Structure 1
Amino acid sequence: MVRISELEGNLKNTELTYEQAKLQVEKMKFEADVQRKETEINLEKSRIAFDQAKRKIQSQKVAENSEEQKQLLKIKQTENDLNRAKQEKEQYTMKATMDGLVVYETNWSTGRKISVGDSPWPGMSLVSLPDLSKMQSVCQINEVDISKVKSEQMARVKLDAFPDREFIGKVKSVGTIGQQSDRSSNVKTFEVVIDIDGTDPVLKPGMTTSNEVVMATLADTVFIPLEAVFERDGKTVVYKMTGSSPRPLEVATGTKNSNYIVVTSGLEAGDKVALRDPAQKDQQKGTQAKGDRGTRL
């Protein structure tokens, strides 16, 4: 027979088991709540992280878009700079309006032709394309002779580079303002422009020329070098060579140029005259009087 005490013991055990079971249930309920809370917290964390990620992506997109706009603006500015440089290059490039020979102008401040490194000023002429179909020679005439030079007078032009070539031309213009030939001299000269007839490939701008203006044409004339005419006792004389010794001969003279003088009486073509005063010990040289049916002075 089962004892009460034993039953009571079993009851106690059963009660303890029941209490343990209740505690376990309560524990499970608590743990479920904790897990649920942890899950909710984790979910909230995930949501916050997700929102942050979205905002970061959005911010990055904005930043990238801003950087893209900055780069596009920089590209546009670079294109503008390039176009401006191209336009400036076009402005700095001089293009001839026709075929021809380029002639560098003279820089008046240096007295030489325009060259690399010169600093031009507004309106300054750098180069020119002369019309080679119409050439001119510019020369300076002494103030003593300028009154004899007139427009349309015939002129002879020789090139220093081609001394055997002679070109015919006419005086186009005569300067009206004299210029000092150089700083050490008070002699004034006037600019005379000569139009050269025709064309020739040897004629080039800038060439040095020797010009002779025909001021008058004298027929049946005897002329001698200026060096052969002397003043003696107030008379104009030449020393005519007779045999090997010269003797003074009074002559009458007429028109002259820078080299020769016309003898109107006292000499005949072919007469030989001295170029120096015989009183000088070194006088030996003589020259022959020349005659010409069309002498030009």
Structure 2
Amino acid sequence: MTSKIKNSLLQNTIKSSKNNDMSKKRIITAAIILVAIVAIALIFKEEVSSEPKGIYTVRSGSFEEVIKCKGEINSADVVEIKIPKTLDDYTLRVWSYRIMDIVDEGKEVKKGDFIAQLDQSQLTTRMREVTQDLERLTADLKNAVIDSTVILTQLREEIKDAQLDLEYNKIDLEQSVFESEAYQRKVQMNYQKAEIGIENKKRNYQLEINKRKVGIKRLENYVEDRKESVAKIQKAIAACRITSPDNGIVMLAKSPFEGKKYKRNDNCHPFMPVLAVLPNLDQANSEVYVKEIDISKVAVGDSARVSFDALEGVTLKGKVVWIASMGEDHKDFDMKVFKVLIRLEETDPGLKPAMTSNSEIIVSNLENVLSVPVRSVFSGDSGKFVWLKQGSKLVQQPVTTGPENEESIVITQGIQEGDRIATEAPAVM
């Protein structure tokens, strides 16, 4: 019994030892498999980290080089609303007018509707001065006419008296033939003296007539001038109320000194008379500013596309019609800019003056060229290059570039159609 029990225990011990050996082998095998999986995962991760986020396949096609710029819609054909010519008269002695009231910009008006009211106070003061002057001169003219009548009447009476004295002297002369020679000589001299006196009086009378005529004429001219001034001032006062010359939408002009659009209490000037305009948007321009680094690419006649923030889905064709010959500073740019006018060749019912426009000037249009995303071209010490995919690797491939826009750039040398390039530089090399 005892030997059987011992044998049984020995066999169980051997089996348990074998089972333990098999368990260890399984654990070791599982560990080896786990290590292999981790190693493969690390290798895969490294390979993935070496891959770029995106790959672009190079294709041939058309390419547009465009210059994008924001602008504002203005009419190419406008009706100007000006300060009336009546107010541009130096005799009024008013050099500027305060705007007491003015219509709101963007308001639709009809012919004859109110546009602006200018201050009349300076004209009223001038009217009072001229009227007082006119009354004084009119009184002076009446007095001059009366004085002239009195003086000339007296002179005519003196001539008549002198002519009567001459008659008496003539009688004495005729009777002196019976007197001595000395008496005859005396009478003859008196007669001659009376003749000379009459001639003098006639001459003085004529001179007084001319003098009085000149004086009265001068006063008449002064009076007439003041009357004309009164009439001009009356017209000017009436002209201070400015109305619309036609139907349209009002766009206010800018003050030549402040550079801001006119508003109430601003001063306007007859020598720069435009207060507002009525644009005709059947012929509209997109007024844009192009940076000086791009202006050499733009030419009159270039095509353009114009869209609008306020008109979703509306894009109109246009053409460059004018380029400024001199650059200027602009608050929205950090360099000189040139003003460019794009004439819209189409219109839309929703188009409004001063509407913000987004213009794309097409400066070149190429066919059958290779273009890639701008972000896929990099710069190095030796020039520009792309990351070209060759098998599982990415290699630097030098390229020669051509025109570009905000999204794409033309490649003239270095790659071929069908090549695959990375759109971003690989993180690990």
TM-score, with structure 2 as normaliser: 0.41
Task: Give the alignment partner of residue 196 of structure 1, picking from 333, 344, 349.
Answer: 344
The answer as to whether partners of 1:251 and 1:267 remain within 8 angstroms in 2 is no
For structure 1, list consecutive stretches of 5 or more residues without a partner in the other structure.
Answer: 1-72, 74-82, 282-297
1:81-92 alignment to 2 at 5 Å? 87-88=235-236, 90-92=238-240
Q: Does 1:141 align with 2:290?
A: yes
1:131 alignment partner, SS class: strand
Aligned counterpart, 2:243:
95
**CA drift at 1:247:** 4.4
Deviates more, 1:121-130 or 1:265-274: 265-274
CA contact (8 A) 1:246 1:274 kept: no
1:249-260 equivalences in 2 (<5 Å): 249-260=397-408
Partner Cα distance (1:272, 1:160) in 2: 36
Listed as ranges, the matches of 1:108-187 within 5 Å are 109-122=257-270, 123-182=272-331, 185=334, 187=335
Flag the structure with more relative contact order, 1 or 2, with Cα contacts below 8 A and sequence separation at least 6.
2
Change (3 A) 1:234 1:91: same
Shift, 1:251, TM fit: 2.1
Counterparts of 1:94 and 1:166, CA distance in 2: 37
User: SS at 1:216's partner residue?
Assistant: strand
Which of the two has greater helix per residue?
Answer: 2
Question: What's the secondary structure of 2:320's corresponding residue?
Answer: strand
Cα separation, 1, equivalents of 2:406 and 2:245: 44
Mapped to 2, the partners of 1:269 and 1:153 lie a distance apart of: 32
Give secondary structure in 1 for the equivalent of 2:239.
helix
Structure 1 residues 245 and 117: alpha-carbon distance in aligned structure 2, compared to 1, 3 A threshold: farther
Amino acid across the alignment from 2:313: D
* Structure 1 residue 131 displacement after superposition: 1.8
> In the aligned structure 2, how far is the partner of 1:221 from the partner of 1:269?
13
Q: Displacement of 1:193 after TM fit? A: 0.6
Q: Residue 296 of structure 2: SS of its match in structure 1?
A: helix
Any idea what SS the aligned residue of 2:238 has? Answer: helix
Question: Residue 90 of structure 1 aligns to a residue in which SS?
Answer: helix
1:192 offset after TM fit, Å?
0.8
Q: Which residue of 2 aligns with 1:34?
A: none
C-alpha separation in 2, matches of 1:255 and 1:145: 12
**Greater Rg by CA:** 1
Deviation, 1:219, is: 0.4
Q: Does 1:211 align with 2:359?
A: yes
Deviations 1:29-59 (A, max 9, x none): xxxxxxxxxxxxxxxxxxxxxxxxxxxxxxx
Unaligned regions of 5+ residues in structure 2, if any?
1-134, 136-230
Paired AA for residue 177 in structure 1: M
Q: If the length of structure 1 is used for normalisation, what is the TM-score?
A: 0.57
Return the alpha-carbon distance in structure 2 between the equivalents of residues 142 and 184 of structure 1. 8
Please list the CA deviations of residues 58-110 of structure 1 after superposition, one character each: whole Å capped at 9, or x if unmatched.
Answer: xxxxxxxxxxxxxxx9xxxxxxxxx9998455312222222111111233544
**Structure 1 residue aligned with 2:199:** none
Task: Give distance in 1, aligned partners of 2:392 and 2:286.
Answer: 45
What are the superposed Cα offsets for residues 101-148 of structure 1, whole Å, 9 maximum, x if unpaired?
111123354444322222222314221011221000111111122122
Percent identity between matched residues is 29
Match of 2:370 in 1: 222
> CA separation in 2, counterparts of 1:243 and 1:109?
68
User: Are the equivalent residues in 2 in contact too, given 1:255–1:261 (CA < 8 A)?
Assistant: yes
**What code does the residue aligned with 1:129 have?**
L
| CA RMSD, 1 decimal | 3.2
Corresponding residue SS for 1:214:
strand
1:49 equivalent in structure 2: none
Number of aligned pairs? Answer: 197
